[in-house]
Structure 1
Amino acid sequence: MNTSHKCQLHIIKILLALVGAALALTQVVRADETCSSPYLARIDGQEEFVYVWSLGVEGLGDGADKLVTVDVKPDSPNYGKVISSVPVDGRNEAHHAGFTDDRRQLWCAALETSRVFIFDVHTDPAKPKLTKTIDNFAETTGGAIGPHGAYALPGRVLIPCLSNATDKGGRTALVEYSNDGNYIATHWLPTKDVARGAANAELADGYGYDARVLPRKNALLTSSFTGWNNYTTDFGKMTADPEAMKHFGNTMVMWDFHTRQPKKVFGVPGAPLEIRWAWGDKHNYAFTATALGSKLWLVYADDRGEWQAKEVAPVSNVKGGVLPVDISLSADDKTLFVSCFGDGKCRVFDVSDPHHPKQIYEKQIGKQVNMVSQSWDGKRLYFTSSLLAHWDKQGADNEQFLRAYAWDGKELKPRFDLDFTALKLGRPHHMLFGSTKIGPNRTTLAAK
C-alpha cells in the first residue's frame, strides 16, 4: 500500500471517528423528559433522580408541602427509594414545578397561596436545598395569582397563571421572572374586551393554564383551565353547581413568542390542559387533551403556514368522560400517553399520523392517576396520583403514589411503587428528572 492510500485511509478513519463521536454526543444529549423546554440544559444519559412536588396533608407527617427526591439509578442500592424530603412552610396547594435553563434551580409553584419555592438542585442533586421563597407574587405581578409552574427560557422563567387577585376567577396572565428571582413582566391573556390584537377575539375568555414554546416557529402556545374559586372548592360541590361549571376555559392562544403578543385565539371547548409540542424538525404541531371533553386536540400549521386547531380523537367513549389530565409525547413523535384521573387508566395512542390518533393500549395505574413523565428513550414512565387537594378521590379510592413502569413498545410493566400515604409524604403531584450529569440544551446542540 503506497503512502497516498495510507493517508486516505487515515483520513477516513478520523472522519468516521468524528461522525461516531457526533452521533454519540447527539444520543447522549438527547436525554430527559420529553415535555421539557428546548432551552433547558439536558441530562447526559439516564435520569438519576425523580423530584416529586407533593401536597401536604393535615395530620400526616409534618403536614407540609415538600419536595421529595427518589433515587432511580438502576444499579443503586436505593433504587426506587426516597433519599431526601424537604418541607416548605405550610400547605400551599403544591402543583407544578420547573427548572431554570441552566438546571441549577427548581422552581416549585403553589396554586392556593401563590407562593413559589426555589430549590438549589445543582450543588447536590440528591439533596435539594430551599434557597428562596417568592411570597409577594400577586403584589409584584399586578394581580396575577395561581402560578401553574415554571418554564425555562434563556436567563428567565415563564410562569403561566390560573387566576387573578381581583375576583379570583379565570382571567389571568403569563408572568416572567429572571433566574435570580426578580420580576420582569406580566402579559395578560386576551379577552373579548381587551383582545390585544388577537384574531378570533370573540372567542377570547382570558383563561390560562399551560404555556409551551416552539422557538423555530416563533410560537408560544397557551391553554386554559379554571380560576382560584373553582380549584380550591370541593370537587363534588363544584360539579353540582351549574354556575361554577360555567367558569372553565374553552380556548387556546397562539402568541408571537418574541413580542409576547397574542396572535390568534382557538375555540377548544372543555378545558384544554397540558400542551406537548412535537420534537421533529418539520413537525409543526402540538397536542392537548380537554379535561371536561375527554378529547385529543391538535394545534398545527396548515399548508399555508397558518395555525389551526381541531379535535382529532376521543380519549375514551366512557359515558361522562374519563377526565384526561396529563399527556406525554414520545421523543420520536409516534406515541402519546394519556393519563386519565377519572378511571385511573393510562391510554396509549399511536400518533404517527397526528391528524388521526389511534388507541393501541391501556393500563390501570390506580384508583386515580394524574401526572405522567416519560424518559427521552421512551423506556421508562412514572406516574403520580394527586390532582388537587380538594379534587382528589375519597376513602379507599384516595390512593397516593409514585409508580414507575418500563415500556417495551407494547405494554407497561411495573418497576417500583411508593405509597406516599404510608411514607407520610402527602399527595404527590408533579415530577421532574434530576442528575449529576448535565449537558447542553437542545437549541445549543441544533446550532452546532
Structure 2
Amino acid sequence: MPRFTPDPTFYPSPRDAAAAPAEKLAYVAAFARPADKPDALAVLDVDQTSGSYGEVVGWTDLPNLGDEVHHFGWNACSSALCPTAAHPHVERRYLVVPGIRSSRIYVIDTRDDPASPRIVKVLEADELGKRAGYSRPHTVHCGPEGIYVSALGGHGEEGPGGVAILDHTTFEVRGPWEADRGDQYLAYDLWWHIGHDVAVTSEWGTPSMIENGVVPELLLANKYGHRLHFWDLRKRRNIQTVDLGAQYQMALELRPAHDPRKQYGFVGVVVSTEDLSASVWLWTREGSQFAVRKVIEIPAEPADAADLPPALQPFGAVPPLVTDIDLSVDDRFLYVSAWGTGELLQYDVTDPEHPRQTGSVRLGGVLRRTPHPAAPELALSGGPQMVEVSRDGTRVYVSNSLYGAWDDQFYPDGVGAWVAKLDVDPRTGGLTPDERFFPHGADFRGRRVHQIRLQGGDASSDSYCFP
C-alpha cells in the first residue's frame, strides 16, 4: 500500500537531514569469500544508549552461494521529494542488495522488524541481463523516477558497463538508463546534480579486469578507467567526457555536493602508475562545461620489499589505495580511506578548491597493522575501506574489506573482518575511535564485511532538491 504522507526519513534539505534523529541500526554487507556459506546482511546496534551497543543484533542469510554482496542501497530516499520527479508516497523500506559476482539482486524488507530484515524478492542474473543488457551490478542509488543500478559488465559480454533502472515499488528491471552513451565503455559509480539535470559516472574495469584481482599488465599499461562522464540526466545522453590522464588509474567513488544549488563534487583515484600515489579530484561547472582538477594527493609509503606482499614487492612501497571517499551532509568534511596504508583522512573542504587536512586515524594497513584501541593486542589486517557518515556528521563508520580477490592480493595472510566507529569534533574536525564500538572476527560468522548503510539514510544515500 502506498503511504498517504511522505516517509519521515525523506528530508527536503541537507539541513533537515542533519537535524533528524540519530540512526539506531546499521546494515552491513557480509560475504563469504570461499563461497562455502551464504552471504548475509548483518545488523549492528549503533544506539549509544543500548545495552547491545556495538554488537551484531540481526542477521539475514541469503539463499545462494557465491553472490559476493558488495554495495547496496535504499529503494527510495529524499530525492523522492524533488518537484521535477516527485514520488512522495514511496517509502524508505527496502534495501536493494546486488551480488557483484552472481549478478543477482536481492530486495530485503526492513520495515516490520528492522533488526531482522527479510528477503521479499530475488532478481536473477537473466532479468538484469535480458531486460537491461548488463551484468555485475555494483552501486545502487535511489533517485528520480526509480532505482539506479550501475553495472560493470554487459549481458554475456565484457561490456559496455552502464546503468539499469528498477521500478521503485515492483523492483522490475525497466531497462538500460542510457539513450546515448557516446564512447563510454567502462563503468563504476553514478551520481547527479538533480536540480541541474546533470548525472556523472566514473570508471573501474570490466569483469575480467577485476574479478581475479588487479591485473599487473593492465595496470601498468594504464588500461583501467581514468575518465569521468557527464550526462544530461533527463535525456540520458553523454554530453561531456573528461580524461584525468591515463596514469590516474581507477576513478571510483563520486561524491557531489549535497547543497542542490552547487555543481561540484569529488572523485577518488586509487593509484597513479607514475609514483603509486593516490588522489582526489574536484569537478566544477565552468560555463557550459565541467572542469576536473586534482586537489588532494597522498604519497606512497616506502617499504622494504621483504615486508611486502608479493603484489607490491617489485615496487618497494605501499600505495595508499584510496578506495572510498565520503562527503558529510553539510559539505564541510571529506573523508578519504587509504586502504593500503591503513588510514582514514579527514579534510575540511569548505573551500573545495583547497582542502585542508583536519584529522587522521590509523587502523590496519599492509605494513603497520595498527590495532584498534578496544583490542590493542590484535594486529589488524585490511584498513579503513568503506566509509559511511551519519547525517549530522558526528559519527563515521568504516569497514575493512575491499573486494575478495583484491583483499587476497594485498593481505594474503587474511583480511579478517572488522567495523569501527569514529567520533568527530563538529567544531574543528578531528577523529577519535570509539572504544566501545568494535565488532570483529567471529561476530561476522566467517564473513568479510564491506558496505555499511545507516537506518534512515546517511551521507552517501540521499540527494536533496531544496537548499
TM-score of the two chains, using structure 2 as the length reference: 0.77
Match of 1:106 in 2: 95
Paired residue type of 1:283: K
- Distance of 2:351 and 2:146 partners within structure 1: 35
- Distance of 2:71 and 2:438 partners within structure 1: 21
Match of 1:150 in 2: 140
Q: 1:124 to 1:301 in 2, by over 3 A?
A: same
Q: Retained in 2: the 8 A contact 1:137–1:145?
A: no
Match of 2:284 in 1: 300
Paired residue type of 1:279: H
* Deviation at residue 386 of structure 1 after TM alignment: 0.9
Match of 2:87 in 1: none
SS in 1 for 2:135: strand
Q: Retained in 1: the 8 A contact 2:240–2:289?
A: no
Match of 1:121 in 2: 110
* Aligned positions of 1:177-256 closer than 5 A: 177-179=166-168, 180-188=170-178, 195=182, 204-235=183-214, 238-239=215-216, 241-242=217-218, 246-256=222-232
Q: Retained in 2: the 8 A contact 1:421–1:427?
A: no
Paired residue type of 1:70: L
- Distance of 1:165 and 1:25 partners within structure 2: 37
- Distance of 1:396 and 1:282 partners within structure 2: 47
Match of 1:90 in 2: 65
Could you list the runs of 5+ residues in structure 2 that have no partner in the other structure? 1-10, 77-90, 273-277, 302-316, 366-381
**Where does structure 1 differ by over 4 angstroms across 4 or more consecutive aligned residues?**
24-28, 188-191, 242-246, 441-444
Match of 1:165 in 2: 155
SS in 2 for 1:63: coil
Match of 2:403 in 1: 388
* Deviation at residue 106 of structure 1 after TM alignment: 0.4
Identify the match of residue 48 of structure 1 among 7, 24, 41.
24
Is it true that 1:407 corresponds to 2:397 in the alignment?
A: no
Q: 1:27 to 1:96 in 2, by over 3 A?
A: closer
SS in 2 for 1:141: helix
Match of 1:132 in 2: 121
- Distance of 1:335 and 1:411 partners within structure 2: 11
* Deviation at residue 265 of structure 1 after TM alignment: 0.6
* Deviation at residue 190 of structure 1 after TM alignment: 6.7
Identify the match of residue 263 of structure 1 among 239, 260, 266.
239
Is it true that 1:416 corresponds to 2:437 in the alignment?
A: yes
- Distance of 2:292 and 2:298 partners within structure 1: 17
**Bigger CA drift: 405-414 or 95-104?**
405-414
* Deviation at residue 280 of structure 1 after TM alignment: 2.7
- Distance of 1:190 and 1:252 partners within structure 2: 16
Is it true that 1:174 corresponds to 2:132 in the alignment?
A: no
Q: CA RMSD in A?
A: 2.6
Q: 1:142 to 1:421 in 2, by over 3 A?
A: same
Q: Retained in 2: the 8 A contact 1:140–1:183?
A: no
* Deviation at residue 391 of structure 1 after TM alignment: 0.8
* Aligned positions of 1:228-377 closer than 5 A: 228-235=207-214, 238-239=215-216, 241-242=217-218, 246-268=222-244, 269-293=248-272, 294-302=278-286, 304-318=287-301, 321-367=319-365, 368-369=382-383, 370-377=385-392
Match of 2:17 in 1: 30
- How many pairs align? 390
Match of 2:371 in 1: none
Paired residue type of 2:143: L
Is it true that 1:77 corresponds to 2:51 in the alignment?
A: yes
* Deviation at residue 360 of structure 1 after TM alignment: 2.9
- Distance of 1:395 and 1:264 partners within structure 2: 40
Could you list the runs of 5+ residues in structure 1 that have no partner in the other structure? 1-23, 33-43, 196-203
